[in-house]
Structures are given as structure tokens and as C-alpha cells.
Structure 1
Amino acid sequence: MFSQVLLGRLPPRMLPLAGAALLLQRKDRKETGFYHWRREKHPYYNLTVKILRARNIKGTDLLSKADCYVELSLPTASPITYRTRVIDNSSDPEWNETFRYRIHNAVKNTLELTLFDEDVLVSDELTSVVFDVTGMVPGRRMKNTFKLREDKEELDVEFFLEKSSDAPTEVITNGALVAYPCLSLNGIINKKDKSNLKEQGSHQFKISLPGSYEKKLCIPCKTDSGQNRGIPFVFHVGKDMCSELDVELEQTITVIQDGVSPDFEKHSTVLGSGTVPLQSLPPGKEIETTVPLGKEQTVDLHVKTEQMTKDLDVRLGFDLCKEERKFLNKRKQVASGALKKALKLREELSDEEVPVVAVLGSGGGMRALTSFYGSLFGLQQLNLLDCVLYLSGISGSTWCLSSLYQDPEWSCKDLRGPISNAREKISRSKVGAFSSERLKYYFQELNAMENSGRKVSFTDLWGLIIEYFLQQKEDQSKLSDQQEAVKQGQNPYPIYAAVNVRPNVSGEDFAEWCEFTPYEVGFRKYGAFVRTEDFDSEFFMGRLIKKHPEPRICYLLGMWGSAFAASLDDVFLKVVGSGLSFLESLGDVVKVIDDCRRAHFRDPMRLKTRLIIPGGPLLQIFQDFFKSRVTAGETFNFMQGLYLHRDYVSLNKFVVWKGTHLDAFPNMLTPMEENLYLVDGGFSINSPFPLVVQPERDVDIIVSFNYSWEAPFEVLQLTQKYCKERGIPFPQIILNEEDEENPKEYYMFMDADNPRTPIVLHFPLINDTFRKYKAPGIERETEEERFFGDFTVEGKDSPYRTLNFSFESQDFDRLVELSSYNVLNNRDTLLKALSLALKRRKLKKMIGN
């Protein structure tokens, strides 16, 4: 029922990596059965926490005993972090201090207790304890002694839980997340001055509401006309948040140095402050109140709180959105006809009998983009492209998909046209992407975006560069424009991949898969989605607070392929050919002084170390980007303000049985964060398997095209591990030494005993029989034909290296034809898999899906 995490001398953000456990979770976890959101009514409880004493505490100062105090944080109940008084110079401090919370029983309430040793300059964290309040028995006082460290350090805490007299509140939940009722606090502020003192300088109000979305607002006392007028303000906050509206009056005086110097200093002084408890403002009523600020200063407030009654703008649920379900109904009719021809069936299949086929493209830069064209062309030549329901890509494969889906009828047309167009673009020089004119365009775009209130990161710059690489012009298209390409089921449903990471935590330890489709963007892990048109807008507690325009797709491409943004210096070097010397003409010199080169294995949040010699104003902006921007696509978190459900640990979408995994720390999970940090999925798994193995999509066949050089089976092994941790059916990947050293053109993995396990067809990118055959069964005859097929994909001098962004026309054609040939040459395997999937689909229907 209870557990603790005991971490010595580590900041809270490092808790998941310290090797301790938070929760004693059940290993026989079962799904809750939630597919749609529903309403639940839960009671309130009053929680009393009494910090008693600690024993045998060793501080950080070797010359004296510790000066201890304890901080208490329960963010699901209060935005305020409480703390005890400091007990000086004691190894056995005793406090006997009591703290009270009102908690709601719908959410996972986890109390964090942190022991500090106060120092003259800074307080050192000694140990953190994370205590799960869920499951406490009301009315029963409980004393708990937390063993802090191996050397007999202990902390005694007493808990008491009793049912509150407050009426239960209804919440909206999907079993993973909880949406509380949200209040909109609208106010007007006006200063009243009873002082006879002559005021100098400028005055402003600082109004804050801890726990609200806005947090703090700064409002000048006077308008531009110099008249005192009421100035409106708005806060959004949870209805049950125990918080106070804080008002500060601040005076700022500007002091000119030497009387004539352009230099100046600003001195700010708080003239007074006052508070208004949020609970004293009854919803729906207008309140007039005068708040004393001290020193004969007061402020008039006219406030009204209203509960937001509109439906949630975040969709909570694990089911597919209605638009995707409609698409599947239409697409299955197309697939039924294609399967009838391919498998020579007597009659077309019903929707329930149609196998769900997903085709995946891995990362790999322009190599992946080019190869994916070839793989899809091979499927089209076999008349199997219409059998595909989902197309999903990562990194470079998303560049291919985004270009294809600009044409709403692309898969109904001969792919030779799009391939020819791609050849023209890829064979061109990319040096123009870094011309003076182009750099000016980039930063004008980024500055305009930042001035509009958007978050700008290093991947946005990379997105604009990718726009030039792929289009050589400005592309105004957006992801939601691709709805036209799937409305009638005429093309497979595109799913683009990114992962949400956390600063200072590696992608291997924590990465949450985020899917982008023409209709929705969201996390199937949390069952939380927003309309694609609303992505990068500001949300709080499931409500849309501030709408921003949907970003152009180039910015998404930069995010989806951000592994290159993390190594943008290498891109410059490869494309320009002379390092960063092209910047000298602009007045700056930027030198990379970091020897870390391999982007895939780097921290996605880390920029290379740079030495910058400042120059002109344009390069000052460039310098700012190099110095201060993270390489993740930082965007507003649309889950902010939602809490974890009290039973979220029962969902196999969370890896809580590993006590050190971040999933076991509800106060640290993404809904508690202000921002998302979205990066290339390759930092986790270099193929978007996690987006199609989810049971909601019920995929029968996964056709995996792997375009990475090293470790051609790594994506399968990582996916197997991912699925095992979450209880998702996935075939066992068994390989021998020969497979690792000399991969074959294809592999098929399946679980014959479990029809719910997808059949996986895996195609490594290798040049094997293509050297001898120009088409399946047709040998190469002329010297020219043999020369065309005799090339190595991998290798030191290969034109297909990941940081090559331009291919010669022949190299492009070779890679397209190789990828297409490897599909055509394994036609029988594809048909066999489809036939097996059809039988397994019927078996699933019989036993109940």
C-alpha cells in the first residue's frame, strides 16, 4: 500500500535514475477497459502530515552537525511547497510540525518529503522520500519510520486521513488522466492611493495565483494616457486548488549614470502586498473588494470566477478518433478488392475479415527518403499498395511521406512521377540553404514566430533548412491539409512519429511516443489527443486557453528529424564543404570544439560546444541560437494541468513495475510539465513500431523497411523489449550469427500460437541478388547493367552516408531500384503473410477479438 524512494544527495529530477523503488506494484496488472472518457464522482479527504523527528543525520559539512529542515510537496493538492523550521547543529532534529492538505480521491496523490541541510550559501538536499497516499485507511492514525540510508538514518512521520465534509466532485477521466473542473478568474484592478507622498518612477502590479496556468501577471498602474483606469486580467485555475491571489505593488526607478551617459540602472521596490484566498470567491458571483497593501496603499479588485462548462478540448480516451474509424471503414473496402485479386479469392472480404497491414519506414536521412520511395513503388508494382491501411515513418522516412501526401491521390497514380520529382530535388546542390539571403529568411521566420508567443527551438531552424532541401521554396502546407488524402480511404493512413524526452534523461531510459496524423496529435500512452489544427496551442486542464496557428509542416519535419539538428554543425560541414567558413562573410566565425560526432547516440537535448566570435547583427541572432536553444522541439504541453488517475498503475501502458522508471513517479510525468520536448524517434527506436503495435489499431501484419546501416535488427530487438515491458503481443525475434553478419533480403517473424500477435516482415537494406538480377528471375546481361547493380550500400566511401543530402542521379536511381527489387523479389513471402493474416483474422473473429 505504501512505499518510499530513498535517494541520497540527488536532485528530484534524478530520482528515476537512482535505482530505488517508488511503488510496490502488482505484477498481474490488468487493463481497466477504458476506451472512452467517462465521468466519476469521488470524495475529498483531509490529510494531516506531522513531521516528527529524524535520527543519525549526517550533514554535508564535515566540521559541524547538520542544520536540518524538511520540505513537503503534494502538487495534486496544493501548489505551495511547505517546509519545517530549521533545527541547527543536530544529528537528531525534532520538529513536531503539522501540515494539512485537502486531497481528491480521483487522483494519484503522492507526497514528496525532502530532507535538507541548510548552508550559509545554499541548502543541500540529503534524501528524498516519495510516499503514495493512495490506499490509506481513513480514521486510522499511522506512524511511519522511513529508513533513509544504510547508516541508520531515519525520519519519523505521522499520517492521519479523514473524510472531508465537502461534497464529492465529479471529474472526467479515461483511467490514466483526470480532468478537474476549471475556473476562469476574470478581474479588474485599480489602485487607490491614500498617501500624500509624491511618487517617483513607474509603478506596476504583480498579480500571481499559484497553481494557475498564467502563474504571474505584470500590470502597469497607468495606461499610456497617464490615467488611472481599471485594467483587466484573467487566470485559469483548478476549482479545488487551495491557492491565494497575491497582489504586489512595485515601484521602479531608473537612474541615469553620470547624468549624460546612455547607461542606466533600474531599482525596484515592493511598496506593499496583499492576498485574497481563492476559496473566498464563490463561482458565478461578482465580488468587489479592497485589498490593503500596507503603507496607506490599497487596491480595488473587481473579480468573478466562473466554472468553464464547455467540453474538453483534449480528447481523453484510448480508442481511435472517429475520423480514423471512418477512414478504416472506407479503406477496408479498397483493401478487400485488392486482396481478392492478390490472393485470388472467390469473393470480397467483409470489413472484419480484412487484415490490417501497416508499412513502416525507418530513419536514415536522404537514404531513408529515397529507399522508402523504392519500397512503396515495389508494393505498387505488385498491386499490394491498396492492401496497406497504415503508413508510418520516422525521421527521413517522414520526409518521403510528407511529400507524397501533398497529392491527395498519390497512391492511385504511378509513383514514377513523384520519384522523378524527388530525384530532381535530391540531385541538386544544397549549398543555397546556407546563403546570406536564406539565413536572413530563416531568422525572420523564427523571430516572427517567437514574437507571436510561440516557443522556438533549434529544430525550427533545422525545419526551415529541410524545407529548402526538399522543396527549394517556401512550403505553406500543414499536416491537417493531408485530411484530403484520406477522406475517401484512397491512400493509407499516415502516422508520423516523434518521442517526448526529458532533459538530463537519456532516450533509452525514458521516451514517450507521440503520434502525428492528419486529424490528431497525441500520446496513446496517456490516451490524450488534440486536433492537429490545435497542435502547439496553449492548453490547461484539458481546455484550450490560447489558440496559435497550426505550424507549417516544415517545422514538424525538423522535429521528426531532429537527430540532424543535434548535429547541425556536421550538416554544414558536409553540405558547404568548408566547415562554417561561409559565415565569415557575414561577420562571425563559429567553431565547433566538441569531438562528439554520432548524432544517434547523443543526448537529444545537448548541443555541441561552440566557440563564437561575435560579428554583425544578423549573426548575433545566429549566435543566440547556437548558444541557447535546445535541440528538442519545445512546444506547449497540451496535457498540462491534468493529473494521473489513482489507478493509472493498472494500465500496461505504464512501466511502473520497474520502480526506478519515470512512470513510477506520477509527480514527474509529462502532465505535470509545462512543455513537451519532442525529438526524432530514432533517439529511442529507429522505426515507428510503438505507434502500430498498440492494441487499438489491431494490426495483423507489419512490413518493416529498415534503412539504417548499423545493426539491421536493432529496431526489432528494441521493439520486442518495449512490448514485453507493456504486455503487448509481439513475436519473438530469434536470429543466428549468420543473420547478424550477412543479413538476408527479408525475415518473417510470427507467433503461431497467438493470432493477436502481428506477423512481422522485416526488410534490411542490403544489396544481395540485385547485383545479379535486374528484375526477379531476369539476369543482368550487359556490362552497363552489371555495373549499375554492383555497388555497396554501406561503406566509408558510400554516397548514401547519413549526412549526405545530395545524391548523383545514378546513385538515386540505384537505391530506388534496389529497394523496389527487394520487395518484388519476395512477392511470394508477402502473399504468404497476407494469406496467413487472413486466416488468423478469421480465427480472431471466432474467438472474439
Structure 2
Amino acid sequence: MSASKPNESVKRRNKNLLNNSEQEFVAGRRNTVLQSLKKLKIQCSRKEVPNIALLGSGGGQRAMVGLLGSLVQLDKAGLLDCILYLSGVSGSTWCMASLYKEPDWSTKLETVKNKILERIRGPEVSLTDAMAKLKKYYYGKDFFSLTDVWAVLAVTSYVKEIDEHTITEQRNQHNKDPFPIYAVIDKQTKQSKDGDPWFEINPYEAGYSLSGVFVDTGNFGSQFHKGSKIKHQDEFDILYLQALCGSALGDEEDIKKSLWPKIKDFFQNETTIEAMRKDDPISLSVDECHRALMDLVNMNLSVLKGEDPSGFDKSIRTNLNELSGGKIQPIYKMKTVETADKRADKRYTNRVTLDVCEYLRSRNSNWLVDIWISICKCMAEWIWGRKYNFLHNMTDEAVNSTLLQSETRDYIDAGLLLNSPYFSVLREDRDIDLIISLDFSEGDSFMTVNGASDTCKKLKIPFPEVSVPSDKGKKPKDFYVFKGQNAPTVIHIPLFNAVNCGDKVEDWRKKYRTFQGSYSAEMIADLMDVAGKNISNNREKLKEQIRAVIEEKDWD
């Protein structure tokens, strides 16, 4: 396949009609699947080739390493070439992005695996490189958000690189690999519970999976009006894609507890401070700005920790009130920790954060300070993944009207709604026969498959009945099969289970938490091994289910 010129208009996909490039890709991949089935001695004609999707759930670095270990064993078992689609959310997309940077990675997976492991065991991205990347993101587009910050300060600490390639560059590089789908959700639609929140990004198209409206991936982020592009924005790179998909490893408070310290560490580093001092501001000195912003960071951290933030509040007002002409004033006196009203303190802190940012911006001309101010502002307003809405002012009765009205949309980690990308592969036009769900979630081992089942019932999407076994929870098994008439078969595989972990399932879960920094080389090796066992221990069961969907499918 050759790369094509980006289509500069919004496209609606009719049911059972894939994008032409995806149709071509799938046709070629089905030939690969057929040959793979023959090697496995699974009888199948060209017409009977099943459409099999492999799903990787979220789970931070646990999901990244777990998916890699699973794919390695699928390859060794001769099953990897049976997979038509590979779709992921959150941490699984970190693995996918690392794989798909290598052309035809599935033909040389052992070599690619070693390169990935060597990198993620190695040193983090340097502060100088991180600073340069943050500057590129800040000045390179119309909307700067916490996704940019998360990419540079958080994702790089796990993937250990800044990948500036784009997904559309991969269009002619993966003829021998499964078709990749990266899944996120629309934040506003999730919050309103009105419309289609499920959003996917693949090398050809980005758009709403169930509504069937898409734009060329190279134009996702550009400004559209009534379905036609009116202002171009450069395509985002792979690092940003990893942050967009893996932008929220937990609830808001968890993320803030992770992100504020990273912001603090970054801006109190001597290298960063020295870079600030090289560019003199117009009137307010870098040191004064730095002191005020560091107080602001510490005040936010104190509120999150349930500590008394009033000292930082006082310091901010003492340093800046005189200069601001009394503009930065408390709404009310912040309470001491003994009588704290946590919600009121958060509201107050957000207000002070915005006031301080507004004042400092008016008195500052230093680019690094300006970025810091924008980061603090984004933290207060909680802005993630903001993009121009390519559906703005379109007329389409099949799309929820609220989706057509707003000029911008925010896109976030799909794990905040459903921690597995079921709805990218449940599109009717993809006609999936078998879903293999690798679940790397923290907590309930059946939350994703139950959530998918419940949502499918509401939306009348064919999905098997999910009967949750009595052994769910602390000691799940390593292989579950859910079947239903006129619905895809779903194989559900929890990462830590009674088979590969014995009676130490809880110990494994405690060892591999989502929020604990990057894993050691020994932890990565152990996790690769335990994830791989879920495939190697179930090779025959996987073959049996592939045979079954071939036999059960109505091919007429």
C-alpha cells in the first residue's frame, strides 16, 4: 500500500463499508490469516477465514509490558498471524506504538522485543530534550493542554523516548502486521452521557466508532467548518498519541497527585532555572515568577495531601499583592488543616491558581515561565486533549446534535469509561467473529467485559451474555469464553490469575501497581513471563475456539 494524500473533508461510513485503505489492508491480512490457519492444521477455506481481534486493556506500564509478553508468546505459538485487528487503550497503546514504529514488526518480533526492552530498561529522556519538546508542543499548535505535559513529563518516563514520527507515516509499512486501532473517548460526551463517546485513531482515519463519521488521520486536529477543512494543523506525533490514549491512569485526584510533583521537579531543577534566566523578562524578574509559581504548585500539592496550605497562600499574596495592585485577593480565608473543608479549599486553590497565572502572564516574557503558567492554568481548568471539532456546524441527522455544535472537543483516556477497546472492533463494518481480550486492569478482573456487555445491551449491539463466575475477584482463572447467537465469541484473559500466579495473585497485584514509577529490569522480565504464560498455557484452547467460530459462523 502506498501513502495517499489526506482527504480534506469529513466522511460518513455506511454500515458494512470500511475505508478503502482499510478494506485493502484487511483483504491482504486475511490471506496471511489463512496461511497461518493451514500451518496450525485448522481447516478453513478462503471464504471462511474468521475476523479475529486482539484487545489490550489499559493499565500503565503493566499493560505495556503485559501486551508485549502476550504477543511474543502468540508468535511462538503460531497464533499471531491469526489476528486481523490489534486494538488498545491507555498503556497497551504504549506497546503498540513501540511495535508499529518498526515496519512489519510481527515478522521479526524477537528482535523488536529486545529493542523495546533495552530501551525501557534504560535511562529516561534528558531534561534538555524534554524542555525542547515541551517548547515544540507549546508553540506548534492552537491548543496546549495537559496531554502535552503528560506526554513530556509522564509518558517519556515509561517509554524512555520522544518519538516524533506520525501514525500516517506507517501507511505503507505494515502489510504483514495486524491492523492497529488506538482508542480514546470524547470527554464531553462521556460527561453528558449523550451521544457516541467512542473514538478511534488508525493510520487512515480518526473518528467516532459507532456514529460512523471520520476524518483523515492527517487532518485530525485541523479546523473544519460544515465538513470542510478551513485551517490546517500539523499532525500530532506518536509521543502525543501515546499521551492522548494514556492520559489518565486513574481518577482526577490520582493524576493530580502524580502530575503536580512532576511539574515541581521539572521547574525546580537547576537546568530549567538556568534556561529561564537566559531570557530576561520585561518587568517581573524570573526569580519572582519562579517563587510565586513554586508556591502555587506547593499550595496545590498541600490541598491534595490534606495538609494546611495557608502558608503558601500567604507567601503568594505577600509576594504578588503589592505588585498586582491588590488583584490577587482571597475569596475567603483558607481554613487550617484541623477545620479544613477539602472541597472549598480545592475551589479556592483553583481560583488563586487562575488569578496568579493571569497576573504573571501580563508581566512576563520568558517562554519557559509562560509554559509553566499555561500548565498551571490547564491544571486548574483540567484541560486534556483539546482539538478543533471536525464536525463543527455540520448537518447530519444521524449524529447527536450536541456533537455538531461545539467548536472544540476534548479527547481523553478511554480507561475512564471502559478500560478495553471493545467498541472499536464492534463496529458493524468490521464484522468481528472472535475477540481475544487481554485484561491488564487494576482491580476487578471482569469490569471490562461486564461493562462492554451492559453497554451493548443498551445500544442493541450483538454481544454474548456474560455470566460472571463465582471465582471472580481474588483468584480468577486464566481463560474464559463467552458465546451468544449472532454475536462474536469473546475470550477473556485476566493478567494475574490462579493458574500463572498460584495462590499469590494479590502479591502480584500489589507488586505491579499503576502508580509506582517505571519498573525495574527484573520486574519487567517477570511480568513478561507471567503474561506470556496466559498464552502458552492456553494455546490449544485458543485453537479450539478459532475452529469453533469457523464451524459456527453462517457463511452464506
Name the TM-score class by shorter chain.
0.7 to 0.9
The RMSD of aligned alpha carbons is: 3.0
**CA spacing shift, 1:569–1:772, aligned 2, 3 Å:** closer
CA distance 1:772–1:584, shift in 2 (3 Å) = closer
Q: CA deviation at 1:312?
A: 7.1
Instruction: Label 1:584 to 1:493 Cα distance change in 2 as closer, same or farther (>3 A).
Output: closer
Cα distance in 1, alignment partners of residues 211 and 25 from structure 2: 23
Question: For the structure 1 residues 419 and 335, does the alpha-carbon distance in structure 2 shift closer, same or farther, using more than 3 Å as the test?
Answer: same
**Paired residue for 1:461?**
149
* 2:166–2:235 CA contact under 8 A, matched in 1: yes
Asked if structure 2 preserves the Cα contact closer than 8 Å seen for 1:394 and 1:497, the reply is: yes
8 Å Cα contact 2:210/2:423 also seen in 1: no
1:516 to 166, 185, 201: 201
* Structure 2 counterpart of 1:499: 185
Identity level (%): 28
Between the aligned partners of 1:593 and 1:470, the Cα distance in structure 2 is 26
1:106-505 to 2 correspondences below 5 Å: 313-318=9-14, 319-345=17-43, 349-350=45-46, 352-413=47-108, 415-428=109-122, 430=124, 435=127, 437-438=128-129, 440-450=131-141, 454-465=142-153, 468-469=156-157, 472-486=160-174, 488=175, 490-502=176-188
Partner SS, residue 485 of structure 1: coil
2: distance between equivalents of 1:429 and 1:690?
Answer: 36
Residue 808 (str. 1) matches residue 520 (str. 2): yes
Please tell me the residue identity of whatever aligns with 1:526: S
The answer (yes or no) to whether the contact 1:709–1:794 under 8 Å persists in 2 is: yes
Does residue 1:626 correspond to 2:376, yes or no? yes
CA contact (8 A) 2:475 2:498 kept: no
What are the superposed Cα offsets for residues 76-104 of structure 1, whole Å, 9 maximum, x if unpaired?
xxxxxxxxxxxxxxxxxxxxxxxxxxxxx
* Higher RCO (CA-CA < 8 Å; seq separation 6+): 2
The 5-angstrom pairing of residues 97-108 of structure 1 reads none
The aligned residue for residue 792 of structure 1 is 507
Hey, what does 1:698 align to over in structure 2?
A: 431
Partner of residue 417, structure 2:
684
- 1:829 is matched with 541
Equivalent position amino acid for 1:792 in 2: D
Residues 505-532 of structure 1, C-alpha deviations (whole Å, 9 max, x = no match):
6376766111101111111333211111
Q: With the length of structure 2 as denominator, give the TM-score of the two structures.
A: 0.78
Matches of 1:330 and 1:631, distance apart in 2: 41
The answer to whether the aligner puts 1:635 opposite 2:326 as a matched pair is: no
Q: Who is 2:309 aligned against? A: none
Q: Deviations over 1:728-747 (max 9, x none)?
A: 11011111332234211111
User: Are residues 1:757 and 2:487 paired?
Assistant: yes
2:9 counterpart letter in structure 1: D
**Amino acid in structure 1 at the alignment position of 2:166:** K
Given that residues 71 and 80 in structure 2 are in contact (C-alpha distance below 8 angstroms), is that contact kept between their aligned partners in structure 1? yes
Contact 1:501–1:510 (CA under 8 A) maintained in structure 2 = no
Q: Secondary structure at the match of 1:702?
A: strand
Return the offset for 1:575. 7.0
Partner residue in 2 for 1:64? none
| Residue 805 of structure 1, CA deviation | 3.5
CA distance in 2, matches of 1:484, 1:793: 40
Aligned counterparts of 1:494 and 1:716: Cα–Cα separation in 2: 21
Secondary structure (helix, strand or coil) at the match of 1:407 reads coil
TM-score, normalised to structure 1's length?
Answer: 0.52
The answer to whether 1:552 aligns with 2:237 is yes
Is the 2:210–2:427 Cα contact (8 Å) retained in structure 1? no
Q: 1:470 to 1:771 in 2, by over 3 A?
A: closer
Between Structure 1 and Structure 2, how many residues are aligned?
A: 471
Unaligned regions of 5+ residues in structure 1, if any? 1-310, 598-605, 649-653, 655-662, 774-788
The separation in 1 between residues aligned to 2:348 and 2:64, in whole angstroms, is 26
Distance 1:521 1:801 in 2: 31
Aligned to 1:571: 258
CA contact (8 A) 2:120 2:160 kept: no
1: CA distance, partners of 2:157 / 2:50: 37
Amino acid aligned to 2:182: Y
Residue 406 of structure 2: which of 665, 673, 677 is its match?
673
AA partner of residue 445 (structure 1): K
Report the Cα distance in structure 2 between the residues aligned to 1:558 and 1:507, rounded to whole angstroms.
23
Alpha carbons of structure 1 residues 643 and 765: separation in structure 2 relative to 1, 3 Å: same
Cα distance in 1, alignment partners of residues 470 and 12 from structure 2: 46
Query: Does the C-alpha gap of structure 1 residues 439 and 416 become closer, same or farther in structure 2, counting only changes over 3 Å?
Result: closer
Partner SS for 1:643: coil
Give the superposition deviation at 1:543: 1.1
For residue 568 of structure 1, report the CA deviation from its aligned partner.
Answer: 4.9
Q: Match for residue 320 of structure 2?
A: none
- The verdict on how the C-alpha distance between 1:790 and 1:836 changes in structure 2, with shifts beyond 3 A counting, is closer
- In structure 2, the partner of 1:595 is 304
Q: Please state whether the residue corresponding to 2:188 is helix, strand or coil.
A: coil
Matches of 1:712 and 1:771, distance apart in 2: 14
1:543 aligns with 2:228: yes
- When residues 575 and 626 of structure 1 are mapped into structure 2, their CA distance, relative to the original with a 3 A threshold, is closer
Distance verdict in 2 for CA 1:335–1:609, change over 3 Å: farther
Q: CA deviation at 1:677?
A: 1.0
CA contact (8 A) 1:498 1:560 kept: yes
Q: Where does structure 2 lack aligned partners over 5 or more consecutive residues?
A: 1-6, 274-289, 307-345
- Cα deviation digits, residues 799-823 of structure 1 (max 9, x gap): x211233111111000001111111
Distance 1:596 1:640 in 2: 41
Higher radius of gyration, 1 or 2? 1
* 3-state SS in 1 of match to 2:527: helix
The alpha carbon displacement at 1:385 in A equals 0.4
Q: Deviations over 1:698-734 (max 9, x none)?
A: 0000000010121111111111111111111101111
Deviation track 1:301-345 (CA, whole Å, cap 9, x = no partner) reads: xxxxxxxxxx97111223210011111111111100111221343
Equivalent position amino acid for 1:556 in 2: L
* 1:403 partner letter: S
Moved more, 516-525 or 701-710: 516-525
Deviation at 1:474, TM superposition (A): 3.7
In the superposition, relative to structure 1, how do residues 608 and 412 fare at CA in structure 2: closer, same or farther (>3 Å)? farther
> What is the deviation of 1:564?
4.4
In structure 2, relative to structure 1, the CA distance for the partners of 1:574 and 1:423 (3 Å cut) is farther
**1:709 aligned residue (439, 442, 445):** 442
Q: Is the 8 A contact 2:476 2:498 kept in 1?
A: no
* Partner Cα separation in structure 2 for residue 573 and residue 545 of structure 1: 37
Matches within 5 A, 1:638-657: 638-645=390-397, 648=398
Match of 1:40 in 2: none
Q: Which amino acid is 1:553 matched to?
A: I
- 1:768 is paired with a residue whose SS is coil
Aligned match for 1:531, one of 216, 232, 246 = 216
Higher percent of residues as strand: 1
